[in-house]
Homo-oligomer: A and B are copies of this chain.
Amino acid sequence: MSEPMSKTNGGNYFEDFALDQELHHATPRSLNDGDRALYQALYGSRFCLQSSDEVARGLGLSTAPLDDLLAFHVVFGKTVPDVSLNAVANLGYAACVFAAPVHAGDTLTTTSRVIGLKENSNRKTGTVYVRSTGVKQTGETVLDYVRWVMVRKRDAASPPPPPSVPDLPNAVAARELQVPAWKFAAFDSARGGSPHLWDDYAVGEKIDHVDAMTIEEAEHQLATRLYQNTAKVHFNLHSEKDGRFGRRIVYGGHVISIARALSFNGLANAIKIAAINGGAHTAPSFAGDTIYAWSEVLDSFAIAGREDVGALRLRTVATKDLACAEFPWRDAGGKYHPAVVLDLDYTVLMPRQN
């Protein structure tokens, strides 16, 4: 028997990362109909493809797929113990492509590769860029994305690695989207909840999603634990009450899922997320905040060889305690309106008229 040694995971520090390093994250996670129901109860989503096995079968799937963001949160959650336990800030993500849909019964694992490292000038922290890939038991990729976080150094005196910053696209290109071979032509917009299909949306169009949702502590904790995300700031009132905000911080992904669910009212037939091009949590959210959202159509593009489905690149902005009839975003100097908590740039698929 070996000597006692520390058994607790203290997380990685900046020095622990090396370029091209591969991280095999722990705790594979099987998703099932229970996760589907919890996701439903947490966000009240009404997109018909994820809500109905019958709608899914009409499009040629076996059953309703799980929500794209549920898969995202689970894949993301696995990276936290290895990547961001000692993070000071979650700086951004980019180039997230959704590939194989996830169904009840699938098991997800995540691996990450370090694709960039840059020490900060204060020598106390550095930025770590990782490309994380969620894979299911069949070997199929579920989603793939880049995230960069500011991580503490264990020791300011440690020598810095050669700076390396990956080249990241502003947006996932149309040709890189993985558009499923579903029969979108069979889509029934009456079941979808809106007569408006891809052809009806114009670039520059802004939509106030009108509805709103107040966050409760129990809700964001349930969500974040469902995703096995272990970041301490979401769960520990005892330490956070003496922290920067005096209370628990809501997992940013929880706000993304609320905004996506709210966006149904105006984007009802945007039944699949194809990509997340980038996103910023511009301010923290807390229990008691009421989240509103609005969207702008940033781009609209046809899919090569497909008459049945098109893509919309969207900006969805979420605010707290401010209705979005006036589309609050940034001022002339580029500074976010103080009520804005999320600025998400992503691409959805929507059936076309036929």
Contacts and interface: CB of A to CB of B under 8 A. Distances in A.
A42 B1 contact: no
Given A193-B26, A199-B2, A266 B7 contact: yes
Interface string A193-214: 1101001111011011111111
A54 B30 contact: yes
B55 A28 contact: yes
Interface string A35-76: 111101111101010011111000000011000000000000
Interface string A17-38: 0000000101111101111111
Interface string A236-250: 111100000000100
Interface string A294-318: 0000001000000000000000000
B226 A212 contact: no
Given A26-B190, A239-B323, 20 more contacts: A1-B201, A2-B200, A2-B202, A4-B205, A7-B266, A8-B210, A8-B265, A9-B268, A26-B191, A30-B63, A33-B104, A37-B37, A38-B38, A38-B41, A44-B226, A211-B232, A212-B235, A212-B239, A214-B238, A216-B218
Contacts of A268: 9, 26
A173 B222 CA distance: 37
A85 B224 CA distance: 31
A204 B237 CA distance: 31
Please classify how large the interface on chain A is, using the bins under 10, 10 to 19, 20 to 34, 35 or more.
Answer: 35 or more
A300 B1 contact: yes
Interface of A: 1-5, 7-10, 24, 26-30, 32-38, 40-44, 46, 48, 51-55, 63-64, 81, 104-105, 107, 109, 137, 190-194, 196, 199-202, 204-205, 207-214, 216-219, 221-226, 228, 230, 232, 235-239, 248, 265-268, 288, 290, 292, 300, 321, 323
Contact of A27 (B10, B193, B205, B248): B193
